[in-house]
Amino acid sequence: MSENTAQKPEHSVLPSQRAAFELKGSLFTLTIFHLYDADIALIEQHLLEKIAQAPGFFRHAPVVIDLNSLSDPVDFTALAALLRRHQLIPVGIRHGSEDQCAAALSADLPLLPKQRTVQRTDMPAEAEAPQKSTGSLARTRVYTKPVRSGQQLHALDGDLIIIGTVSGGAEVLAAGNIHVYGSLRGRALAGAYGDTQARIFCASLEAELVSIAGNYRVLEKPRDIAKLHQAVQIYLENEHLIIRPLT
């Protein structure tokens, strides 16, 4: 072999080889941990009370720490350790001050952008109906099969209509309203981008958790037993979830 012959690098990647990974943006359902006090002991006390309402429900749930209502310094290392100790996974913070953001980064917690909100304006009765415009109207997703345990069904651009049952352990999520023409047993999250006018409708309420625009409610007995197994609508009023029979 000639001494001038170029040697191929030992770890070179041929153009025909498939890439080892690919980075893409996506949307996931995250639990927002609104922090009102920096006292770690107090946080743990109230966290244990919340977990007791639905044992195992938030196990391994990814959470975002929201600091919109807290200006005090936060020990993010201790807070992250507390959350992990109770099997919650902190994935970052949002709405922090400059000092809070710096402290979070020092504790290896990333900074997340502010929540995107959606406002819905009702059309006056005398207004003309808008002309169809591809890509500008919210899209309704219709699903005609049962949603099984462990399955996630999302409608990210509009309403979600399910002609069937949502099983326990399943999750349905929509940017707009959710309609379930069957039993709703899993989790239902409407108004996922902050639409406070969104509603949940179902033929039989048996859900584990319902949420409108991030305001959630774990259904408990005996408080909610009178509404179970009924056709109901669920909506937000003065930042409180209202569950009302459809009859």
**pLDDT value of residue 169:** 87
Residue 117: left if φ>0, alpha if ψ -120 to 50, beta else—which one?
beta
**pLDDT tens, 29-77?**
677 889 999 999 999 999 998 787 666 667 788 889 999 999 999 999 9
DSSP 66: E
DSSP 88: E
**Single pTM value for the model:** 0.56
**pLDDT tens, 8-33?**
555 555 555 788 888 776 666 677 88
Residue 110 in 3-state DSSP?
Answer: coil
Sign of the four-CA dihedral 238, 239, 240, 244: positive
Position 135 confidence tier, pLDDT thresholds 50, 70, 90: very low
**Residues whose CB falls within 8 Å of the CB of residue 71, separated by 6 or more in sequence, listed in order:** 97
**pLDDT value of residue 15:** 57
57 or 171, greater pLDDT: 171
Buried b (16+ CB within 10 A) or exposed e, 194-206: ebbbbbbbbbbbb
Domains of the chain: 31-106 (3.30.70.260), 141-245 (2.160.20.70)
**pLDDT tens, 188-220?**
999 988 889 999 999 999 998 898 987 888 776
**pLDDT value of residue 217:** 83
Longest dimension (CA), the chain: 90
Query: Does the pLDDT at position 116 exceed 80?
Result: no
Please confirm whether the linkage preceding 90 is cis (ω < 30° from 0): no
- Other CB atoms closer than 10 Å to residue 52's CB: what's the count? 8
Distances (CA, A) of 193 to 30, 46, 231, 237, 242: 12, 27, 25, 17, 19
Question: Which of 32-36, 76-80, 87-91, 129-133: highest mean pLDDT?
Answer: 76-80
**Residue whose C-alpha is closest to residue 119's, from 195, 189, 175:** 195
Average model confidence (pLDDT) across the chain: 81
Query: Does the pLDDT at position 108 exceed 80?
Result: yes
